[in-house]
Amino acid sequence: MSMPYKPLKTPVLIINFKTYKESTGKNALKLALLAEKASKKTGKQVMIAVQPTDLRMVAGKVSIPVLAQHADPEPQGAHTGSVSPEALKDAGAKGTLLNHSEKKLSDNVLSEAIRRCKELGLVTVCCATNNTKAAKVASYHPHMVAVEPPELIGGNVSVSQASPEVVEKSVKSVLRVSRIPVLCGAGIHTTKDVQDSVRLGAKGVLVASGVVKAKNPYKEMIAMLEGLV
Ligand code: G3P
């Protein structure tokens, strides 16, 4: 039996900690506390996606929603190495990213992972690399879809600048399938990058290096949140 659908507040800034040294272990907690401070200062929704090894520790210390970066659909039991949705929930995750281009899932596994997570009341933010894939993953009914062209990830040019049509087309293609908020990500650094994303129809942004690798991550979070209206 499915848990009731609980929409999250948008627009939203999601910071993906990936496996950077600057966002692992003690550094993950420091960054998470800064994200919480930025959310409180601006009154805007910030979520963070941390590694499974940091999840319980971080989720116990901050009030903003903490996501996992990946979940497997396998249930609890004899499934060595799997990250079960039950374990994520028990560790304090409010949800999870799924199908990030650095952790891709096959269609069957993805749709089952979304179903299993939703059953437990976990928020699902499903990534896609382009507008066709965005529409495809939207048909599995995650809570949000995040479009990220892989070639722009980790770079200095944002998706909203380099490929605005990917964002616009994704918003349109997803809306044809379901009323799911679409986020965009890849190369996002500035207030303008975020403003442009919102203008293109995105309900938020998914970022990593622009915050995690910055000299002053708090300053960058605030700058991005200024563009999120
Ligand atoms: O999940 C966010 C991500 O892939 C974007 O990375 O470093 O380009 O902000 P980045």
Write the DSSP string, 3-39.
PPP-PPPSSEEEEE-TT-GGGSTHHHHHHHHHHHHHH
Ligand 1 near 74 CB (within 6 A): no
Residues in the chain: 229
pLDDT, tens digit, 9 for 90 and up, residues 64-120: 999 999 999 999 999 999 999 999 999 999 999 999 999 999 999 999 999 999 999
Percent of the chain scoring above 70 in pLDDT: 97
Residue 146 has pLDDT above 70, yes or no: yes
Ligand 1 near 202 CB (within 6 A): no
Ligand 1 near 154 CB (within 6 A): yes
**Ligand 1 center to residue 78 CA distance, Å?**
33
* Residues annotated as catalytic (active site), given as ranges: 100, 148
Name residue 50's beta-bridge partners.
68
This model's pTM is above 0.85: yes
pLDDT, tens digit, 9 for 90 and up, residues 1-40: 344 344 578 999 999 999 999 999 999 999 999 999 999 9
**Backbone phi, psi, residue 21, to 5°:** -60, -35
Cβ atoms within 10 A of the Cβ of 229, count?
9
Residue 156 has pLDDT above 80, yes or no: yes
**Ligand 1 center to residue 161 CA distance, Å?**
15
Position in ligand 1 atom list of the atom nearest CA 206: 2
